A = this chain, B = another copy of it.
Amino acid sequence: MKFRIAIIGTGNVAWHLAPALESEGHTVTEVYSRDLHRATQITNRLYATEPTEDLDFSESEAEIYIIAVSDHAIPSVADSIILPEDSILVHTSGSVPLTALAYSSASYTGIFYPLQSFSKSREISFEDVPFLLESDDHEVLRKLKILAKSLSPLQYVVKSKDRMALHVAAVFASNFTNHLLRISEEVMSRQGLDFEMLKPLIIEQISKSLQVGAKAAQTGPAVRGDIGTLDLHYQFLNYNEQVAEIYRLISQDIIDSN
């Protein structure tokens, strides 16, 4: 089953999603941006898609409308968009509830959330992207599953009430691990050491953790209860009180979780 789809927004998700949908045989009818030039940057990558800066889609032939704008802009786009009969309106956000689309003119609403970190400069293989789907309508959910399945073998139905937990978990696993790598980079560069040295360790640690689980994969001074080393490290970090406190607190939590 192939769909006619309009994409509202021109961020990183739209940038990757639009050509992927087209290459799976779906038709991208329009790409919307407040700034027509930005819409054109995406339609230029497509076969025959109209760029538009008008949220009036009453004449559109699309049946699925995918809002891929920043979280805070979703409600205002949903409230302003004018849709034809029987249209399905979805957004692609992991942290905005389905109810954000409740006051739109759409006949049906849903969530079509690709759980991945998108950057324009990095290619994404959608085969590895889990799609998290939600809709109150059984038939709409079925269509979203078909659409997701055309892009990726990984689909999950996740209710809005669970999406908060999912987002918190993603923040720890992605944003926060990334920040710890940043702290690590800074500790190294401050000492004139090459961060390259640590990369094989990081890759092996994450691989191991994903394979055997983080509890089994843990090593280091905290899990060994090596208080002497923990104290030395804490003192070493005294040039940055906040980073020292992060060191102390995570070490304590490793000790307490053991």
Contact = CB atoms under 8 A, between A and B. Distances in A.
A165 interface: yes
A218 B130 contact: no
A36 interface: no
Contacts of A232: 164
State the copy count for this chain. Answer: 2
A84 interface: no
Interface stretch (A19-27, A42-50, A180-188): A180-188
Interface string A53-83: 0000000000000000001100000000000
B193 A158 contact: yes
A120 interface: no
A129 to B, nearest CB: 6
B201 A115 contact: yes
A212 B154 CA distance: 27
Nearest to A129: B200
Contacts of A257: 179, 182
Interface in A170-186: 170-185
Contact of A197 (B164, B166, B174, B205): B166
A173 B181 contact: yes
B200 A116 contact: yes
A214 B204 CA distance: 18
A94 to B, nearest CB: 10
A17 interface: no
Contacts of A124: 204
Interface string A81-120: 0000000000000010000000000000000000111010
A175 B222 contact: yes
Contact of A219 (B169, B175, B195, B223): B175
A193 B162 contact: yes
Given A179-B218, A194-B156, A252 B256 contact: no
Contacts of A154: 197, 200
B178 A166 contact: no
A71 B219 CA distance: 13
A140 to B, nearest CB: 21
A191 B161 CA distance: 10
A134 B71 CA distance: 52
Q: Which 7 A-B pairs have the closest CB atoms?
A: A175-B220, A182-B214, A165-B191, A173-B184, A169-B187, A172-B184, A174-B205
